[in-house]
Structure 1
Amino acid sequence: MGKGTNKGIVIAIVAALIVIAVMVAAITYIIREERYGQTQAADSGQQSPEAGTGEIDPAIFEQIENNTPEEETVATRPSGWYGLYESSGEPEHETGLESASAECDDVYAWIEIPGGGIDYPIAYCENAEEPFYFTHDIHGNPDDKGMIITDSMNSDDFSDPLTLIYGHNPEDGTMFAGLHRFRDSDFFEENQYINIYLSDAELKYRIYACFTGSADNMLLAYDFNDPAQFGEFFEGLEDIRDLSANFREEARPSFGDHVIGLVTHCDDENKRLFVYGVLDEVRY
C-alpha cells in the first residue's frame, strides 16, 4: 500500500471525527435547551411548548384570544346631510319602513310619536296641489284616511329648515288624530319627542309647540332659508291667540335648526292643528 493511500485514509478518519464532534455538540445543545424549557415551565406552573410531546398547549391559544382587545365598532356615517351630526346611538325603534317601501316606491320614511299613538309610514307626493296619497292608501286604493305625507314643497330628506308633514284627523283616532292630545298641557309636558326614521338613520325631534292656526301654507308666505324670515315666523307663533296652545321655551328653534311641522284638521275648517319639533338627536 503506497503513501498516497495512507494519507487518504487519515484524512477520511479526521473528517469522520469532525462530523461526530459536531453531532455530539448539537445533541448536547438540544438537550440543554429542552431541560431549560422544562425548568422554566416548572417555575411558572405551566408546561413549556417545547417540552413533552412538542405540541403547543391549546389553553395558550385560548388565553391569547381572551386577552386580545375587541375591535371598537365604529358607526358608518350616512351619506345624507344628517351624517354631519355625531350619532347618539343606534335607532331606538324597529319600524315597518323596509316592508312599506317595498310595497310602495313613494314611501321613504316612518314617523313615530312615543305615547301619541302615531306609528306610520310617510309617503312623498310630487303634486302638492292634489297629493295622491292624502286620499289613497299604500296600495293606491282610494281611502278617505289616506296616508301620512310630505309633498313637493319640501325635499324628501328633511333637510329643509321647515318640513311640513300632513295627516288626516279621522274619528277612529288613527293617523294624526293623536296630535290633538298635545293640546293637553300635562300630556304635552310628559311626551316630548317625535321620531323620524329613514333607511339609514333616526332623526329625533323635541316638540316645541302645539297650537291651532291659519290653514294658509306658511311655506308660501315665508322663505325659511332667510334668517330674518325664519326668526319672524317662529317669534310670531307665541303671539297666537289660542287658549289651548302649549310651548316649550327651551326648544324654541333658531336659524340653522331643522324643524318639522305636523299638520292636521281641527273643528274650524279655516284652521289647522300644528305640532312643531326641532331636531335634537341623530342616530345611525
Structure 2
Amino acid sequence: MIAGAALFAALLLFSGVMLCREIKDSQQSAQAFETLAKLVVDKPKLDIQLDGEASRPEDKPSADEPAPEITAAEKYAAIHEKNNDFVGWLRIEDTNINYPVMQSTDNPNFYLKHNFDKEYSNYGVPYVQENCELGVSDNTIIYGHHMDDGSMFADLCKYESEDFYREHKTIQFDTMDGFGKYEVVAVFKTVAYSNEGFPYFLFVKADKPEDFDDFIAKCKELALYDTGVTAEYGDKLITLSTCEYSRDNGRMVIVAKKTESAPEVGGDA
C-alpha cells in the first residue's frame, strides 16, 4: 500500500517535471521565432554610405519617385548571417505557420530536433529534405512537427476542411533567391513508412514528364477534395508534411505549385 502510494507520487512528480519542461520549451521556441521575425527587413535601407560619407538628402528618392523594392536576399540577410542553413521563410495566413525554413544537406533531419541556434529542441525548425535543390528540383519537400500547442506545422491539419482551403488557397514561401507564392494543388492524408502509404517524399525531380504527371495524378487520387488546380511538367512544387494522428504514422500533406515570384502585398514575416 505504502509502496504503491510512493510509486504513484513519484510518477506524478515525474509527469509534473516533464510538463513544466514542455511548457518551458514551448515558450522558448515561440520567443526565439519572434526574435528571428524581428530581423526580417521590410524596406531597403536608404541611408547608405557614399565614398565614406553619409548619404545626402538629394541622394534619396523624392516623394514622387516610387520606393525601391527590396530583394529577398536583403529581406532575410540578417537571418542568413546568423545561420547559413537558413534557406527561406514560410507563411500561411491565419495560421501559426510563419517560420524560417532550414536545410542541412550533410546532416539529414538535423532540424527535426534542433532549434535555429543548433541546440537540442523537441520543436525543431521546419526544414527542407536534404536531397532537394531549391529552384532546381521539381518538388521541394518541407517538414515540420505537429506540436500539441498548435505551433510548427500543426495548423496544416486545418486544410482538412475544404472551407478553410477556400479561404487560404495560397502559401508564401520565400527563398534567398526570390519571393514565391504557391497555389494549393492537393491536400491528402497518407501513412509513412508503410506499404500502404504513398511515398510522396521520394519524388524530388522527374526523369521524364510522365514522372511528374504520375505524381500529380496520385496526389489528386488521394485528395480530400477537388481544388480545381493542377500542375504540369515545368511547374515548381512544394510539399508540406507533418504528422497526422487519425492513424499510426499518419501524415498530412499539402502540395502546391509556384504561381508568382513577386512578394505578397503587405506580406510581412
The aligned counterpart of 1:98 is 77
Determine helix, strand or coil for the equivalent of 1:206: strand
Residue 195 of structure 1 pairs with residue 177 of structure 2:
no
1:265 CA displacement? 0.5
Identity of aligned residues (%): 23
Change (3 A) 1:222 1:152: closer
Matched, 1:145 2:133: no
For residues 198 and 189 of structure 1, the distance between their equivalents in structure 2, rounded to whole angstroms, comes to 26
Distance of 2:204 and 2:172 partners within structure 1 = 26
The number of equivalent residue pairs is: 193
Q: Distance in 2 between matches of 1:261 and 1:160?
A: 12
- Tell me what 1:131 maps to: 109
Q: For 1:202, what is the secondary structure of its paired residue? A: coil
- Determine whether 1:272 maps to 2:254: no
SS in 1 for 2:261: strand
1:222 Cα offset (Å): 7.4
Partner of 1:236: 218
Q: Deviation per CA, 1:29-88, whole angstroms, max 9, x where unpaired?
A: xxxxxxxxxxxxxxxxxxxxxxxxxxxxxxxxxxxxxxxxx888997xxxxxxxxxxxxx
Q: Distance in 1 between matches of 2:252 and 2:85?
A: 25
What residue is the counterpart of 1:227 in the other structure? 209
Q: After the TM superposition, which residues 34-113 of structure 1 pair with which residues of structure 2 at under 5 Å, given as runs?
A: 97-113=76-92
Residue 275 of structure 1, CA deviation: 0.7
Q: 1:185 aligns with which of 162, 165, 190?
A: 162
TM-score, normalising length from structure 1? 0.61
Q: TM-score scaled by structure 2?
A: 0.64
Q: Which residue of 2 aligns with 1:18?
A: none
Tell me: CA distance 1:175–1:235, structure 2 relative to 1, closer, same or farther (3 Å). Answer: same
**SS of 1:152 mapped into structure 2:** coil
Unmatched 5+ residue regions in structure 1? 1-69, 76-89
2:93 aligned partner, one-letter code: P
CA contact 1:222–1:230 (8 Å) conserved in 2: no
Q: 1:255 aligns with which of 218, 233, 238?
A: 233
Secondary structure at the aligned position of 2:165 is classed as helix
Give the 3 Å change call, closer, same or farther, for CA 254–102 of structure 1 in structure 2. Answer: same
Residues 222, 233 of structure 1: 8 Å contact kept: no
Distance 1:258 1:201 in 2: 14
Superposition CA RMSD, Å: 2.7
Q: Find the structure with the greater CA-based Rg.
A: 1
Spell out, residue by residue over 1:85-107, the C-alpha distance to the aligned partner (whole angstroms, 9 max, x if none).
xxxxx789x97x33322221211
- Gaps in structure 2 of 5+ consecutive residues: 1-63, 194-198, 264-269
Distance 1:199 1:185 in 2: 32
Aligned partner of residue 137 in structure 2, secondary structure: coil
**Residues 138, 205 of structure 2: 8 Å contact kept:** no
How far 1:111 sits from its partner (Å)?
A: 0.6
Q: Which residue identity is paired with 1:261?
A: T
